[in-house]
Amino acid sequence: MKDILHRNNVHVSGSGTTPMLFAHGFGCDQSMWRFITPAFQQDYKIVLFDHVGFGNSDVQAFVPGKYNALQAYANDMLEICEELNLSQIIFVGHSVSAMIGILAALQEPDRFQKLILIGPSPRYINDEDYVGGFNAKDIDGLLDFLDSNYLGWSSTMAPVIMANPERPELSQELTNSFCRANPEIAKNFARLTFLSDNRADLPKVKMPALILQCSEDVIAPNSVGEYVYSQLPNSRLVVMKATGHCPNLSHPEETIAAIKGFL
């Protein structure tokens, strides 16, 4: 069904047969992988896509009742995999898409070979002995700001998420990416992301997983990376020198090296 590939603006490239499926984080699109994918073009089949509402996806495909949980985005991804007949997939997911990938892998485990999770967080809100990095009031404030002033939120939050202030062009790119997204869809996706709790899903994952944790990341702090590592049975944790939440943009060489070391 060509509609699925159009819906998610799917692009396939590369000379290999084993698929590497790259899933972008909140407010971004597949262009965020442009420094990473060339390193794998020779040996893998590269599959890139945009979540509905972001990049060049089909905004008309967004149905509010359908996209009311992260599972809906996992289902989209599985439809892409089925349409392209992908198996033995190496999944690479950034930020919230790390959890979306886990949901997809739990639903169709035979389709996935390995998971590479960049800055994953199963829950952003602190809970008893779990440190997610935010208290409930922080998240409420963040979502209220997002609802009332999406463009203001974008320009304020992008530098915090990106870090690396000595390279302002990176924050500007993230701001621009946020601002290109459909605001209503982005607000919905933010709510699903920041209020999600996927902790119970982690122990069910059987395939090997690599967790890439940035050394300073306000969105997914070290405590979260350690937690994900402790809960994913067959996982390896790499704490990178990279700072910020988007090492695929800010520190691509280190990101590539860590992925290659795992593969």
Catalytic member of 217, 235, 250, 251: 217
Q: Which residue is listed with tokens 């902790």?
A: 199
Catalytic residue among 95, 97, 177, 235: 95
Give the strand pairing for 89-94 and 45-48: unpaired
CB within 8 Å of 200: residues ≥ 6 apart: none
The catalytic residue among 24, 94, 245, 251 is 245
Tally the residues of the chain: 263
Separation CA 60–CA 136 (nearest Å): 33
Q: Per the structure block, which two tokens stand in for 129?
A: 């002995």
How far is the C-alpha of 35 from the C-alpha of 122, rounded, in Å? 26
Torsion of the alpha carbons at 113, 94, 35 and 168, rounded to the nearest 10: -170
How many helices (H) and strands (E) the chain has is answered by 10, 7
List phi, psi (to 5°) of 213. Answer: -110, 125
98 closest CA partner among 225, 257, 216:
225
Residue 95 annotated to the active site: yes
Q: Is 140 a catalytic residue?
A: no
Q: Would you call 96 helix, strand, or coil by DSSP?
A: helix
| Residue 127 is among the residues annotated as catalytic for this protein | no
**At 57, is the secondary structure helix, strand, or coil?**
coil
State both tokens at 209.
């997983």
- Tell me the one-letter amino acid at 127: D
Give me the active site residues, please.
95, 217, 245
